[in-house]
Amino acid sequence: MPSVFANLDHVMRSRDPSVEQRRASRDLVDMVSHATARGRTHGVQIINISPLGLMCRSDGEWLAGERATIWLPILTDYPADIRWCQDGRVGMEFVEPIKPRIYDALMALIPPRRTAW
């Protein structure tokens, strides 16, 4: 007789912090920039980035669900939706994914992370 829990493996994986659940791997970076939302511009420190989004640190006031623009080399003020905010960190998902060739050129201009958090 099959176990009732046989099909719940995905639930256990989703609760395991060691399992990577992102749709795209992130590149660790260390870049100072700025982002604008609700007409206010705040300084940000971009910590990681992928073609789909980024995570940054900021002292600004952010609201999950709001639209923002983030300044990135080549792309300038790139639109993103704020997905989460916690303890001075902000997760943003780009409205349009960055195309691979542009992402490669962008990464050539962004310094890699040199310090551990």
Beta bridge partners of 34: 43
Global pTM reads 0.77
**CA 32 to centroid of chain Cα atoms:** 14
Q: What pLDDT, in 10s, does the model give residues 79-99?
A: 999 999 999 999 999 999 999
Instruction: List the beta strands (DSSP E) in the chain.
Output: 27-37, 40-49, 53-57, 67-72, 76-86, 89-94
Q: Return the CATH superfamily for domain 24-109.
A: predicted glycosyltransferase like domains (2.40.10.220)
Identify the pLDDT of residue 7: 53
Which alpha helices (H) appear in 9-95, and where do they start and end? 9-14
Identify the pLDDT of residue 114: 74
58 and 86 in contact (C-beta within 8 Å)?
no
> With 80 as the cut, is the pLDDT of residue 39 above it?
yes
